Homo-oligomer: A and B are copies of this chain.
Amino acid sequence: MAVYTDITDQELEGFLADYDLGAPLAFKGIAEGVENSNFLLETEKGRYILTVYERRARPEDLPYFLNLLGWLADRGYPSARPVPDQAGRTLKTLRGKPAAIVGFMPGLSVRKPSPAHCREAGEGLAWLHLAGEGYEGRRANDLGQPHWAPLFSKHRQAAEDLKPGLAATIDKDLAEMALAWPRSLPSGTIHADYFPDNVFFRTDGKFAATIDFYFACDDAYAYDVAVTLNAWCFEADGSFNVTAAQGLIAGYERRRPLSPAERDALPMLARGAAMRFFLTRLADWNATPAGALVRPKDPLEYERKLAVHREGLSLFGGRA
């Protein structure tokens, strides 16, 4: 929720001169996306989002993300289409930083998803997995299971400071996951950050669009389902809403049925997905100076989800 880069009217005019979008009519920084600066841009041709890529986005990854957006839009998936400049380029430079213009997607995200929202979101995720098939871009999941133990080794003390005894618990989790992690599930292009703020709904509650593909990568489809279960199906009190989870999976299976192996793997995948977000939040927490006005997200939210999964999820009639 921030705009890190300030764009002047003159910089905008110079930037738009490369495009065939007509003159700008309105331009406003918007509080959307945590990692990049986003602007609502209205021109004589329509409405767009201008994104300036900040610290976390690696420039060499940006063609992968923009080409994926183009691929998905070509296949009718409701995600923003990158807008090429007059020379056909979608990845540009603005104020010395990488930048791109994509189409504006209408819709609203929900803060507290109902089971009906979870069902719709699940279907939207399966649609994304199917629409992404055949995309030739490749990006390894640099926040996947092999990366967790090295990441944790840098932040063990921060975990211990948050909750005494936690470091040893996480060590044990990581060792168990390294042994039991499912490695031969159907894989392809996943979103990897399919949280409620990245999914838009129509007024009637139907799935409308997916945004913010800047963690997309190659990994197991069921891992994306597991990330989504964690993001959508926990109550504020930390309890897991099995009704919402079953709705999410039923919605997913309207488009792409899970195999028995994927179903069996879900509890471990959900535990791992909780570990991934616990670890990156822990790292962000640890990197933020005390007294800063902007507090990072609480790592303990995901530590609690991890604890729930450590006990074993029971999604499909008793298996865990």
Contacts and interface: CB of A to CB of B under 8 A. Distances in A.
Contact of A31 (B8, B24, B28, B44): B28
Contacts of A31: 3, 28-31
Interface residues of A, number: 32
A1 interface: yes
A9 B30 CA distance: 17
A40 interface: yes
Contacts of A111: 8-10
A111 B13 CA distance: 12
Interface string A282-302: 000000010111100000000
Interface stretch (A101-109, A167-175, A223-231, A238-246): A101-109
Interface SS of chain A: helix, strand, loop or mixed?
loop
Contacts of A54: none
Nearest to A113: B9
Given A292-B292, A293-B293, A28 B8 contact: no
A292 to B, nearest CB: 5
Interface in A57-81: none
A9 B291 contact: no
Interface in A12-57: 12, 23-32, 40, 42, 44
A27 B106 CA distance: 9
Interface of A: 1, 3, 8-10, 12, 23-32, 40, 42, 44, 106-112, 203, 289, 291-294
Contacts of A291: 289, 291-292
Contacts of A112: 8-10
Contacts of A24: 108, 203
Nearest to A38: B28
A26 B106 contact: yes
B32 A28 contact: yes
Nearest to A42: B106
A1 B29 contact: yes
26 contacts: A3-B31, A8-B110, A9-B108, A9-B109, A9-B110, A10-B111, A23-B203, A24-B108, A24-B203, A25-B106, A25-B108, A26-B106, A26-B108, A27-B108, A28-B31, A28-B32, A28-B40, A29-B31, A29-B32, A30-B30, A30-B40, A40-B40, A289-B291, A291-B291, A293-B294, A294-B294
A38 to B, nearest CB: 9
A293 B30 CA distance: 19
Contacts of A110: 8-9
Contacts of A294: 293-294
